[in-house]
Amino acid sequence: MSEPRPQRSARPSPFRPLLPWLKRQLEGGPLHFTLLDPDKTPGSRAGELARRAEELGTHLILLGGSTGIRPEGMSEAARSIHASTRVPVVIFPQGAESVTPEADAILWMSLLNSRNLRWVVRTHAATSLAIRRLALEPISLGYLVVAPGMKVGEVGEADVLSREAPEVAAGWALAAEYLGMQLVYLEAGSGAAEPVPPSLVQAVHQVLQVPLLVGGGIRRADQARALLGAGAQVLVTGTVVEEGGEDALRPIIEEVNRHRVRPSR
């Protein structure tokens, strides 16, 4: 039986391929990504929040992050964000239900420190042909969950990395790069009381060539400053966008953009 021919994705996008675009933006300094969960902020609400985040200076919208996600909800939110912003929309997947051809790319995340191969590679094996048919760009990402890990640590069955062992985290991150991952993400877990410690970010940054993303528990500008100073190249915030509103988000994005040597785009 022959392989089905790849279909063109529904939406022509100025951001395809996305990875070279991302690398070009990173040459100008760090970036801020806004994570929106279409389960909590469905349809036009996602578009509205994304529009406000773009006005504040966010560079990209990540879509996903909850356990109850449906493909229709992802598609509706992606369409609404495209209609109200000019930033790329990238899938931050929970599983096959997160896939929508309306996005510009998908983070092809492997939760490397999971005990369950499902989160490392098995879901990927089950969905890769569908991704190809949709002509979605997969961007491989080594996803490392650091204590406390919160919900993603629990659901992802992670042996969370200790906050006090920067060398160990550096070893995991470098392993991801040596396996060919295009990005590495240090995740403290959504809603964590504190982000990943800057000392740990610094140890990872020192050994890594590929871009380093950091997320989970970032609520204030001083935390953003410390993480950027330690070498984080992308900061991801979710809770602060959905719960704190613009006043909480503004200083974080301002901090990121203060570190840029030239504006994005």
- CB closer to ligand 1GP, 134 vs 235: 235
- CB closer to ligand 1GP, 118 vs 220: 220
Among 74, 89, 200, 218, binds ligand 1GP (CB under 6 A): 218
Q: Which of residues 167-196 bind ligand 1GP (CB under 6 A)?
A: 187, 189-192
Closest contact distance (angstroms) between CB of 7 and ligand 1GP is 30
**Residue 182 in contact with residue 139, Cβ under 8 Å?**
yes
Size of the site for ligand 1GP (CB under 6 A): 15
Q: Count the neighbouring beta carbons within 10 Å of the beta carbon of residue 261.
A: 7
Helices marked H in 165-244 — which ranges?
166-178, 198-207, 221-230, 239
DSSP 120: I
Residue 183, φ and ψ in degrees, nearest 5: -140, 155
**Residue 235 in contact with residue 215, Cβ under 8 Å?**
yes
Q: How far is CA 240 from CA 131, 153, 215, 248, 253, in A?
A: 31, 20, 12, 6, 11
Give me the 22-41 binding string for ligand 1GP, x by CB under 6 A, dash otherwise.
Answer: -------------x------
Q: Which of residues 230-259 bind ligand 1GP (CB under 6 A)?
A: 236-240
User: Does residue 211 touch ligand 1GP according to CB under 6 A?
Assistant: no
Closest contact distance (angstroms) between CB of 188 and ligand 1GP is 7
The residue sitting closest to ligand 1GP, measured at its beta carbon, is 238
User: Strand, coil or helix: what is 119?
Assistant: helix
Q: State the residues that interact with ligand 1GP by CB under 6 A.
A: 35, 187, 189-192, 215-218, 236-240
